[in-house]
């Protein structure tokens, strides 16, 4: 049995929320650069170039890429041979979020109640997803989620009679309805299967998957490419001003479901779809 002090978790989470908010994954940066090259009209090309310049400025000035530094979503995969010592695991995660958002001078956007909207002043509590895995290692991923794009997300409980075309239409319609609101070009996470809450979690996991990794199942990998082409044909374009680059990636995750259902969730991410991870 391997022991890990929760103070290590706090320190790691603090660093991850800062790095995720200031530096995009390399593969997503490359997607944005490719989008700039793909645009032929002056305005969308100029907007895409400004997005590139914004990424460079964030690095050079050591500031967040976006003013909405998001709600902290933390995925923690815990090896079953790990024993945490020194305190409560969830408290240590939230302490790391609080320290990271304070030390990193990140905007604190969380209110303690949906109706009595009083700011918690430290961007906690985080949304924490825990999984138990084999081994004695711990993987922690910080995925800050801004709400300009989160608000554009959707979930629908289809019946099994719905086919691929009907599900695809729902995904594309979600993007059309969102328009320029989620700061396109977007990254789309799609969850198909499981149950009501399960498909939403699948969509969030899909959104946090590297854009350079396609689904391991050729059927879903092909559907990802097909949806990306159809979405980019909508002409919404960068920041909603028209163009060829409405989406940078479509990531799908699927899971077993009930014989009577076909849940589908679409989690919309902006071009600043952030995630950073570490292994303990």
> Cα(150)–Cα(66) distance, rounded to whole angstroms?
14
> Cα(81)–Cα(278) distance, rounded to whole angstroms?
18
> Cα(18)–Cα(250) distance, rounded to whole angstroms?
26
The DSSP 8-state label assigned to residue 239 in this structure reads: G
Contacts 24+ apart (CB under 8 A), 196-200: 196/155, 196/157, 196/263, 198/255, 198/263, 199/155, 199/255, 199/263, 199/264, 199/265, 200/155, 200/265, 200/267
Domain locations in the chain? 2-20+65-144, 147-274
Question: What is the separation, in whole angstroms, between the first and last Cα of the chain?
Answer: 14
For residue 211 the two structure tokens come to 């854009």
Which residues in the chain come in under a pLDDT of 70? none
What pLDDT does 210 receive?
93
The DSSP 8-state label assigned to residue 4 in this structure reads: E
Q: Would you call 260 helix, strand, or coil by DSSP?
A: coil
The pairing of beta strand 276-279 with beta strand 138-142: antiparallel
pLDDT digit string, tens, across residues 6-62: 999 999 999 999 999 999 999 999 999 998 999 999 999 999 999 999 999 998 999
What pLDDT does 11 receive?
98
What pLDDT does 143 receive?
96
Q: Look up tokens 């793909």; give the residue.
A: 38
What pLDDT does 213 receive?
93
């Amino acid at each position: 049995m391997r022991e890990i002090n929760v103070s290590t978790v706090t320190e790691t989470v603090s660093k991850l929320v800062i790095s995720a908010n200031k530096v995009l994954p390399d593969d997503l940066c490359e997607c944005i650069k490719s989008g700039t090259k793909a645009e032929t009209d002056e305005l969308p090309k100029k907007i895409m170039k400004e997005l590139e310049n914004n990424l460079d400025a964030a690095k050079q000035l050591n500031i967040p890429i976006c003013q909405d530094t998001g709600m902290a979503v933390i995925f923690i995969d815990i090896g079953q041979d790990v024993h945490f010592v020194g305190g409560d695991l969830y408290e240590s995660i939230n302490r790391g979020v609080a320290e990271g958002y304070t030390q990193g001078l990140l905007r604190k956007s969380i209110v303690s109640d949906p109706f009595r909207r009083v700011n918690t002043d430290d961007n906690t509590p985080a949304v924490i997803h825990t999984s138990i895995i084999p081994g004695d290692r711990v993987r922690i991923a910080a995925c800050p989620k801004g709400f300009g794009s989160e608000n554009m997300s959707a979930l629908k409980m289809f019946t099994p009679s719905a086919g691929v075309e009907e599900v695809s239409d729902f995904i594309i319609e979600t993007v059309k309805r969102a328009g320029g609101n989620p700061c396109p070009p977007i990254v789309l996470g799609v969850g198909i299967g499981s149950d009501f809450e399960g498909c939403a979690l699948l969509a969030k996991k899909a959104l946090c998957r590297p854009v350079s990794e396609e689904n391991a199942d050729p059927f879903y990998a092909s559907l990802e490419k097909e949806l990306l082409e159809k979405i980019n044909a909508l002409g919404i374009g960068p920041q909603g001003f028209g163009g060829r680059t409405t989406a940078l990636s479509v990531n799908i995750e699927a899971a077993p479901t009930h014989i009577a259902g076909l849940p589908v969730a679409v989690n919309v991410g902006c071009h600043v779809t952030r995630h950073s991870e570490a292994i303990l």
